[in-house]
Structure 1
């Protein structure tokens, strides 16, 4: 075999070897790219992969949205608290605090106030006989004097009732308490109608 023929055969054999290696390497690259094991070609150029960059942007956007939602909820809660405190400040103190008169029962209120509140009903409903008995009780308990008792007895029924209730009311809560107790003893029905309990 001459040198030229041997050289051609060697060259052909070498070309086939190079060609087969290139084909194998290309087929391996295709398989690796399909399986996802080969790194992205952007990294070989010193840049980030577009897919990773999009994932990072999505994660950062989610974090920003969650932080914004938390801030908005906190602002709403603070504004509600401020509105509630301002509303409490605008409400008058009288409406926030229950008056003492409405908290205590009627029997614990002063007797002179209770007697004065039923003054008109007492004058219109009490009878002549009940008035005479009440005058006796008040005189016995030294709530009224003898002259006050005789002065009241000399007057008509309505004037007598008015003088009795006004005289006792002027003498204070203790005297009014005596009149209320005497009325409860002498005429329980009228006592219940006047709601003096």
Structure 2
């Protein structure tokens, strides 16, 4: 069946347009449509990767990449305190943290995990967003997260603190993956730093 632009079948929603929300805008939970009779399409793929780049888990989000969806996904992947990583780095880390505090799930996560944002997000938010600046810094220089920074030396031999992990290293893989699948609008990245490193011989 051919359709002209803007033309819908009787069973399809009348309002069909791209999601106008900017990535860093707060998410409202998506409204439930009256029916689901339309071509399968997902909003994004959420991917959890280890610092080395290995994909730990992934899922498709049908309607939005809301902080609630992210927290539910993380809860399924890390159901126990022992399984949870020390750090979860995600571009919406400050929104996920705010949602966790608001809905009470922070009581579960605060014992084991710190939510941080990638360096690009932090640079864009550090002046305007106090929560992001105070609690989601990917390389705090105040000693609050010594595993996230290393001491490096400049050309004059003076020490300075440097990020221990490149939080921007995996988006190229995810961008390539999303460009291969027409049913996906976006891909997002969550990098988890494990509590203890395991040595395999």
TM-score (norm 1): 0.21
Q: Which has the higher contact order (CA 8 A, sep 6+)?
A: 2
TM-score (norm 2): 0.21
Q: Which one has a larger percent helix, Structure 1 or Structure 2?
A: 1
